[in-house]
Amino acid sequence: MTAKEFGINHALFGVEDYKTYTKKRAAFGDAFSRTKLLKIEDQINQDIESGCNWIEERSRNGEEVDLAFLFRAVPAEIITRYLFGQEKGFLKDVQATKNLYDKTMDRLFGFSHLGRFIPKEIPLFTALFRQLIKRAMGLNDPGSAFLDYFLLAQKLVQKVVDRHNNPSSESEGISQHTVFDDFLDSSLPQEEKEKGPLTQQAVAIWSGGWDTVGFTLTMGFYQLLQNPEIKERLYHELKNAWRDPNEPPVMATLDKLPYLNAVLKETFRHSPGALCRISRVNPTSPEQYKAWEIPPGTIISMSIPDVLSDEAVWGSDAAAFKPERWIGRTDLDRYLVNFSKGTRICPGIELAWIEIRLMIASLFRKYDMTIPPDANVTDDDVMPYYEGFTPIVKNWISRLPVVAKLRD
């Protein structure tokens, strides 16, 4: 249902039949395994370093820096290069990047909810309303997050297809064998590799690779910057383990830091990847839930936010941002369900953990950051409020302006 509401039911997470799903999942090979992703650790660090340079350039001029923008631009660059072998310069093209996560128009016309009833028409309606607004009101392009990332993903994957079908030609901007080259080389039927289905795969994986990561980082930093004791404890742990901040961080070192791990888990706990109910079906066996036996074939859905905030699991302070709750409590890991569980777990889970670990470590090791009081940042700018499958803030577009100073 979720995939259909966005008109991307060919995408991996939209496949209902389990056998078909496993074949499509296998078409990506080991691209999203931790072992494979650690091979691009240096490149990820380079992209994060570009983000740090962006912070320092603006800080030298006395400017505030919008972390919400940074946390979309850097992950978008990482996932774009990894999936498609292309660089787009998201840090430089500020307005185009903001259009990717500005949900004003999408929410205004209720596209995510309309899609549950007329999914195939949503891309057309989005484009139509966008043009009507521009013409009727004389405005600049208002942007549409859904349409913008759909069209951009289409262009990105088409360039890979063109190069793949004509390997003797040099496709400008593609510098490596890509994840989608592997998909095109797979044994899937040819109809799954046509423009429509292939674009749907690209939209789902590409947008999931930066949108949810960006939201999680923004929310996590918002919580950390409001808790000076947590922020300083994290900084001192990082400083002791990573002596020279001019050297890139090393995942093998960061993995062993208990407080950083606790901060990461608490950040994920407060950042549900999806706000809607995720449906599952056991087609062959009954399911026992307390006193109820659920017949086979019954659609069962669970709300991820309900699990992540259940006081029966997390205690009476479940609403608080408290990394200490994770120290010595590996039994809680089973309730961290942001990425779902089992065979349908989000394929991007390992990449998200790597990116968020490196980003949090890099910025808190290098900078002392504060939210200026006159920026008037509230929960309405950062925290989940609307459900558009993934979270949407009350003010439609996330923002988190900070003043950043280099640590000594």
Task: Show binding-site residues for heme.
Answer: 346
Q: Which residues are annotated as a binding site?
A: 346
Q: What share of the chain is helix, strand, coil (3-state, %, to 5)?
A: 55, 10, 35
User: Vertex 73, ends 69 and 145: CA angle to 5°?
Assistant: 75
| Residue written as token pair 């950390």 | 224
8 Å CB contact between 225 and 370: yes
What's the one-letter identity of residue 119?
P
Query: Tokens standing for 220?
Result: 């996590």
Q: Is 41 helix (H, G, I), strand (E, B) or coil?
A: helix
| Residue written as token pair 């062959």 | 284
Quickly list H helices, 255-292: 258-269
8 Å CB contact between 102 and 146: no
d(CA 387, CA 395): 13
Task: Work out the number of other CB atoms within 10 angstroms of the CB of residue 145.
Answer: 25
d(CA 101, CA 69): 9
| DSSP secondary structure string for all residues of 126-188 | HHHHHHHHHHHH-PSP---HHHHHHHHHHHHHHHHHHHHH-TTS--TT--S--HHHHHHHSSS
**Exposure string for 272-298, b = 16+ CB within 10 A, e = fewer:** bbbbbbbeeeeeeeeeeeeeeeeeeee
Phi, psi torsion values for 284, nearest 5 degrees: -115, -25
d(CA 114, CA 112): 6
Query: Tokens standing for 203?
Result: 């939209």
d(CA 74, CA 49): 9
Q: Sign of dihedral through CA atoms 10, 345, 264, 353?
A: negative
Q: Is 47 helix (H, G, I), strand (E, B) or coil?
A: helix
In sequence order, the 6+-apart residues with CB closer than 8 A to the CB of 66 are 399, 400, 401
